[in-house]
Amino acid sequence: MKRPLSVTILGLLYIAVGIGSTVAHLLGKPSATELATVAVLGLLAVLAGVFMLRAQNWARWLALAWMAFHVALSIFHPLHELIVHTAILVLFAYLLFRPQERAYFRSHGAAA
C-alpha cells in the first residue's frame, strides 16, 4: 500500500523538528540536564518520524505521545502555548488515525 501524503508530511516534520529543536537548544548553551532532556526528546521525534515513514504503528503512537508531552509542558507556560500545542495534537491525531492511515499502518504491520 502506498504511503499516505499525511504520513509523509508528518514523518518529515517530526524529523525536522527533532533535529532543529536539538540544534537550537544547543546554541543556547543549556545546562547538562537540559541538554540530556532536549537530546532525548529530539531523538524521540526523529525516531517517530523515521519509523512512521517505514509504516511502524508504534511510531505513530510515539509521535502522539511526544506531542502530548508538549501539551503537558505547556500547562506551565502562557495559555496560548497550551492552546496551540493542544490544537496541533488534535490535528496530528486526526491525520494519523483516519481510515487510510490506519490501513497503511495495519497493512505493513501484518506483512512484517
| pLDDT at residue number 1 | 84
| pLDDT at residue number 110 | 59
| pLDDT at residue number 70 | 94
Per DSSP, the three-state class of 63 is helix
Residuewise pLDDT in 10s, the chain (112 residues) = 899 999 999 999 999 999 999 999 889 888 999 999 999 999 999 999 999 999 999 999 999 999 999 999 999 999 999 999 999 999 999 999 999 999 999 987 655 4
Q: How far apart are CA 103 and CA 28, in angstroms?
A: 42
Residue 45's CB is within 10 A of a number of other CB atoms, namely 25
Q: Give ∠ CA 9-49-52 in degrees, rounded to 5.
A: 85
Contact (CB, 8 A) for 92 and 50 = no
